Amino acid sequence: MTAATAVTAGAAATSSVSPALELRGIVKRFPGVLANDHIDLSVERGEIRALLGENGAGKTTLMRVLYGLYPPDAGEIQLAGQTQHFRSPTDAIEAGLGMVHQHFMLFPSLTVAENIVYGREPRRWGFIDRRTAARQVAALAERYGLEVDPGARVADLSVGLRQRVEILKTLYRDAQVLILDEPTAVLTPQERQGLFRVLRELAGQGKTVIFITHKLQEVMEIADRATVLRNGRVEATVRIADSSPTELCRYMVGRDVLPDPIRTPKSAGDPVLTVADLVVLDNAGRRVVDGVSFEVRAGEIVGLAGVAGNGQSELVAAIAGLRSATAGRVMLSQQDANTTSIAARRRAGLAYIPEDRNRVGLALAASVADNLIMADQRNSSRTPRLSKRGVLSRAGIERYATDLIERFDIKVASTREAVGNLSGGNRQKVVAARELAQEPIVLIAEQPTQGVDVGAAESIHRDLLAVRDAGRAVLLSSAESSEILSLCDRILVMFEGRIVGELSAEAVGADPAAEATLGLLAAGGAT
Amino acid sequence: MSRFRKGAALWGSLTAPAITAPIFAVLGALMLGALLMLATGHDPLAAYRAMLEGALGGRQLANLMATLARATPIVGMGLAIAVALRGGYLNLGGEGQLVLGGLASALVALYTPLPGWLLLPASLIAGALAGGAWALLAAGLDRWCRVPLLIGTLLLNYPARYLASYLVNHPLRDVASGMSQTHRVPEAVELPRLIAGTRLHIGALIVLALVLAAAWIVRRTRVGYELRMTGLNPSFARYGGVDTVRLGFGAMMLSGGIAGLVGAMEVLGTHHRFIDNALTGPLYAWTGLMAALLAGSSPLGVLAAGLFFAAVHTGGFGMERGAQVPRELSRVLQALMILLIAARGQLLTPRRGGSTAAAGKAGAT
């Protein structure tokens, strides 16, 4: 801590002008939670600052206070030495702040230029002057090296390009301080490099960048300094050149993190999940899964890699029975599962950790206990104590829920607490605990550590390996290539609805450029 | 667990917003009503005293019995709406289901050659089946013809009401009575009165039993659990293996069935014949809907809310008699209460993060 303080003081001493952004003693309280506890943060002009922290550390709250979404209970915000009182994001934007949200706020049916100038359109005779708008946007893109076609419709753009549009939107409004909330979560490795180039360019031209993330590697790569939050306080501010991922991680978690568990070589058994020539249409009728075939055998983890939106979600939904397949077959333990209901697939040993835990995997308003017994309330053969002839056993449910909370180390006040009150990591643990407790023959894990802090991700990875080592099968769909590379026995890469490549763990282990190969395949390049 | 902790838990549950919010809403409505009466030149204290007397007093508690008799169909209809709403299905067709249930029971009572002892249960069952079938029709329109349940249930009220009107005005009319009504049902089919000389019949106990049964089913059974989860998040329930389509049909059938049964009990217990507009005029279905919304679709809450609305209704008659306050005023009061209840989230809790909605207004890509 002393070293960290020294760094801040040193940085302040070297610059005679006011920092681009300064927060002093920010306090934000929610009922029962002190989300921000006297946070001080000072960011220089032209600096790229990483804001690190586990879920619930207070990053999001701090950024919302900064962006005018929450009024702080105490503390002061200064931009370039001027004290600010933001009452809405409009005030914050006016003062030169720009936020790129995790979920993009764009109109898909409008063009790039229209999205960028929206709310501040150049006008001519009272009408929107499209030509000037396009010219301004092109000039802006040119100046910061953000190539994008101003006339293209946003709906036709890739995720990486949409993100550029978001960044341009803030620049168009003359933002001096850009806040990016987990900007790399949806990008391919190549797109990520492109984003980093842009951020360096922006910093070089005097803009200030605040980069919120979970990923330590990215912090090491892009940031000048990192501020780590824990339990609502600033744990440390460090210069990246003098730090290491291990140190940052220790500040985040408050202890040393165990190394990734070792995946012991193991020979796989019989195929327990077979997918043959599967075709799935999306809601608009496009063939988003276009004749996919593969098997997952007992005792192996098969990874499904690829950039989001290449059919993985629909493929997984079709296997789980949430979406119907137009052609092809899904077999569980060599039994045809095509025509069977979701309940029947679950009885046949399928469990599923869905991508969207808040909208699919949980009922946020319901209690932890109610969320933990879903799918088991009917399965009286396996958990006879939860219900008897259709009547729920309160004591049995309480015992079962308490047991799972303990086994999976879920942090809750009681089994009756609403799941919506939990942090993202604990919500995911509720989903994982429920699905793993089924002792599935096949477990589908979809983005199981997305938006989950390091500690929770670590325990979910261990759980997935334990399922595999118990001789059961896992299909892991993840956009996180490091997760795929460290856990999987085999990796299938999806691109535009097809499987375009398969890599084995042995091949990957021997290849230091494995991640690049994966990224190339995922982007549609040939091996 | 010590007695103290039990007491603290009880106190905690009594001061929870779910309990206190309706009380504040009612108090607020009474105050607004007082202002309204002052403005129209009535004495609010005398009016409220007359209202209390009219709702709960009377010689040998006659007014209380009238309140309970009126509460029977209101609570019954509230329960009908609540069982579907618990699963997220908004049944706005209570009125049509109620009318068809009453009509079917009258037809069976009048025109089937069943022995007397069988006729009463057969009439009640016919009522429930008719209401249930009408609700199922709306569910089917939603499932197969893409008519939203909200619209289907609402629109099906009209054919049901006017079909019944037509039948009792023309082919089935008791011409001798000079009124738009059927003949009187045989005495053997009449539901017994609980207390002689009042309109309170055994249907009140049936409704009470249904409320208790529904409360138990929702809280303590597997199907109740699945209904609750479907109401909170249908995607989650489906993902967990709940057959939400079947559950939806079941919930709607039960909802319509209860509504039909309520209609049958009113016909066989109160009027002893099907009278045109007797079930729709007092707005039982809509008052029941309000009770279900006010109670957050909890069966026991519906019981409390339904009793309260019935008391406001009969109290309104008392106000009219005792303090010369127009009866319409009690309707105004009732509407004010539901309005305040609906606004409780905003009125009683400080707003926090009010602009988060603004952050999400642009279409996410």
User: Which residue, among A524, A502, A515, A523, has the nearest Cα to A292 in the 3D structure?
Assistant: A502
Flag whether B25 is in a domain. no
**Strand-strand pairing, A327-332 and A335-336:** antiparallel
User: How many domains does chain B divide into?
Assistant: 1
**Strand-strand pairing, A287-297 and A271-281:** antiparallel
Q: Which two tokens stand for residue A364?
A: 């946020």
Interface contact flag, A366 B359, Cβ < 8 Å? no
Q: Please name the member of B352, B355, B364 whose beta carbon is closest to the beta carbon of A104.
A: B364
Per-residue confidence (pLDDT) for residue B350, from 0 to 100? 38
Mean pLDDT, chain B, rounded, equals 86
Give the model's confidence band at A38: pLDDT under 50 very low, under 70 low, under 90 confident, else very high.
very high
Listed in sequence order, the residues at least 6 apart from B292 whose beta carbon sits closer than 8 Å to its beta carbon are B78, B79, B81, B82, B85, B302, B305
Per-residue confidence (pLDDT) for residue A131, from 0 to 100? 85
Mutate to test the interface with A, among B5, B226, B236 (most CBs of A within 10 A): B236
Give the model's confidence band at A226: pLDDT under 50 very low, under 70 low, under 90 confident, else very high.
very high
Listed in sequence order, the residues at least 6 apart from B332 whose beta carbon sits closer than 8 Å to its beta carbon are B33, B36
Which B residues, 327 through 356, put their C-beta within 8 Å of a C-beta on chain A? 352-353, 355-356
* Each residue's pLDDT tens digit, B309-354: 898 888 888 888 888 888 777 778 767 766 776 665 444 433 333 3
By the CB < 8 Å criterion, does B240 face chain A? yes
Q: B111: buried, middle or exposed (CB in 10 Å: 19+, 13-18, 0-12)?
A: exposed
**Strand-strand pairing, A177-181 and A97-100:** parallel
What is the C-alpha separation between B269 and B241, in angstroms, rounded? 43
- What is the arithmetic mean of pLDDT over B78-82? 97
By the CB < 8 Å criterion, does A284 face chain B? no
Choice between A204 and A507, residue whose per-residue pLDDT is larger? A204
Flag whether B365 is in a domain. no
Flag whether B103 is in a domain. yes
Flag whether B353 is in a domain. no
Per-residue confidence (pLDDT) for residue B16, from 0 to 100? 59
Give the model's confidence band at A14: pLDDT under 50 very low, under 70 low, under 90 confident, else very high.
very low
* Each residue's pLDDT tens digit, B259-278: 999 999 999 999 999 999 99
The listed range with the strongest mean pLDDT (A328-342, A452-466, B21-35, B212-226) is B212-226
Flag whether B358 is in a domain. no
Helices (H), A307-450: 312-320, 342-347, 368-373, 394-407, 424-437
Tell me the sheet residues that pair with A51. Answer: A212, A227
Per-residue confidence (pLDDT) for residue B269, from 0 to 100? 94
Give kind and range of the element (H or E) at residue A351. strand A350-353
Interface contact flag, A342 B233, Cβ < 8 Å? no
For tokens 């049936």, name the residue: B206
Flag whether B48 is in a domain. no
Contact A169, A101 (CB under 8 A): no
Listed in sequence order, the residues at least 6 apart from B270 whose beta carbon sits closer than 8 Å to its beta carbon are B69, B199, B201
* Each residue's pLDDT tens digit, B287-310: 999 889 888 899 999 999 899 889
Q: Does B1 have pLDDT greater than 50? A: no
Q: Which two tokens stand for residue A65?
A: 């206070």
Which residue of chain A is at minimal alpha-carbon distance from B221?
A: A391
Flag whether B357 is in a domain. no
Closest Cα in chain B, distance from residue A322 (Å)? 7
Q: With contacts defined as CB-CB under 8 Å, which chain A residues touch B352?
A: 30, 70
Q: Does A31 have pLDDT greater than 90? A: no
Interface contact flag, A366 B243, Cβ < 8 Å? no
Interface contact flag, B359 A69, Cβ < 8 Å? yes
Contact B130, B115 (CB under 8 A): no
Contact B288, B77 (CB under 8 A): yes
What is the C-alpha separation between A166 and A162, in angstroms, rounded? 6
- Give the domain range for residue B99: 75-282
What is the C-alpha separation between A349 and A336, in angstroms, rounded? 13
What is the C-alpha separation between A494 and A501, in angstroms, rounded? 7
Flag whether B111 is in a domain. yes
Complex-level ipTM: 0.82
